[in-house]
């Protein structure tokens, strides 16, 4: 293997090592975004993501829910519990009574966030009422508007693409050098 090709391969391997190590070192902090929606029954689901990049919040989210019904009843404050269905998904520790509710979810950790939205809770055990009403999940409310930015992928994806391009250039240089007469190998 010639000297140039060895240098290119060393640079490619060093770049790969640096790119694979970079995501582990990145830490999230800053504001979080909450999405709140009824589950079609008597629970409320809360999804927590980092506002900056939309990644799931993997830290424990400490949050509570309070609600007021359209007929004047109040509910809560009730803590949210981590859901087994997802890492950044939370739900109520106890069921929300049937009815139309204005719910407010307030998070205190890992950062402060609050969101108020309307939720319809239904008693799915009541056969005739449940059959008459559609039970699809409600559209989630979000704590902030969708970002209009363009996503270019994760640093790892960018690194793999860059390394593939460098490898193609290295192979091209090696093939060009082999085809020239008078160049020593």
Q: Give the per-residue pLDDT at 151.
A: 43
Asked if residue 92 is part of any domain, the answer here is yes
Asked if residue 116 is part of any domain, the answer here is yes
**Mean pLDDT calculated for residue range 160-175:** 81
Using the predicted structure, report yes or no on whether residue 141 has a pLDDT greater than 70: no
Cα–Cα distance, 39 to 45 (Å, whole number): 6
DSSP, res 4: H
Using the predicted structure, report yes or no on whether residue 107 has a pLDDT greater than 60: yes
Q: Which domain holds residue 58?
A: 32-142
Q: Give the per-residue pLDDT at 110.
A: 86
Assign 102 a pLDDT band (cuts: 50, 70, 90).
very high
Q: With contact defined as beta carbons under 8 Å apart, do 65 and 56 qualify? A: no
Asked if residue 162 is part of any domain, the answer here is no
Asked if residue 27 is part of any domain, the answer here is no
Cα–Cα distance, 35 to 142 (Å, whole number): 4
Q: With contact defined as beta carbons under 8 Å apart, do 45 and 37 qualify? A: yes
Asked if residue 5 is part of any domain, the answer here is no
Using the predicted structure, report yes or no on whether residue 37 has a pLDDT greater than 70: yes
Q: Taking Cα atoms as reference points, which of 36, 33, 27 lies closest to residue 51?
A: 33
Cα–Cα distance, 23 to 157 (Å, whole number): 11
How confident is the prediction for the chain on average, in pLDDT?
74
Can you give the CATH number for the domain in which 100 is found? 2.60.40
- Compare 104 and 4 and report the one with higher pLDDT: 104
How many domains does the chain fold into? 1
Using the predicted structure, report yes or no on whether residue 56 has a pLDDT greater than 60: yes
Asked if residue 104 is part of any domain, the answer here is yes
Task: Give one word for 133, left, alpha or beta, with left for phi > 0 and alpha for psi -120 to 50.
Answer: beta
**Mean pLDDT calculated for residue range 123-128:** 58
Q: Give the per-residue pLDDT at 149.
A: 38
pLDDT in tens, 65-74: 899 998 999 9
Percent share of the chain, pLDDT over 90: 5
Using the predicted structure, report yes or no on whether residue 161 has a pLDDT greater than 50: yes
**Mean pLDDT calculated for residue range 162-184:** 76
Cα–Cα distance, 12 to 33 (Å, whole number): 38
């Amino acid at each position: 293997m010639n000297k140039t090709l060895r240098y290119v391969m060393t640079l490619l391997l060093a770049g790969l090592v640096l790119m694979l190590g970079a995501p582990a070192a990145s830490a999230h902090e800053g504001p979080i975004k909450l999405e709140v929606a009824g589950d079609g029954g008597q629970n409320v689901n809360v999804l927590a993501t980092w506002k900056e990049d939309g990644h799931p919040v993997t830290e424990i989210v400490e949050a509570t829910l309070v609600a007021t019904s359209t007929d004047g009843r109040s509910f809560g404050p009730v803590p949210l519990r981590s859901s087994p269905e997802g890492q950044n998904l939370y739900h109520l520790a106890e069921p929300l009574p049937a009815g139309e509710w204005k719910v407010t979810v307030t998070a205190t950790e890992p950062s402060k966030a609050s969101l108020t939205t309307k939720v319809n809770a239904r008693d799915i055990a009541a056969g005739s009422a449940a059959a008459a009403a559609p039970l699809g999940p409600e559209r989630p409310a979000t704590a902030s508007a969708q970002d209009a930015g363009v996503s270019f992928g994760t640093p790892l994806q960018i690194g793999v693409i860059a390394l593939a391009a460098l490898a193609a250039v290295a192979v091209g240089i090696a093939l060009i050098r082999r085809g020239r007469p008078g160049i020593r190998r």
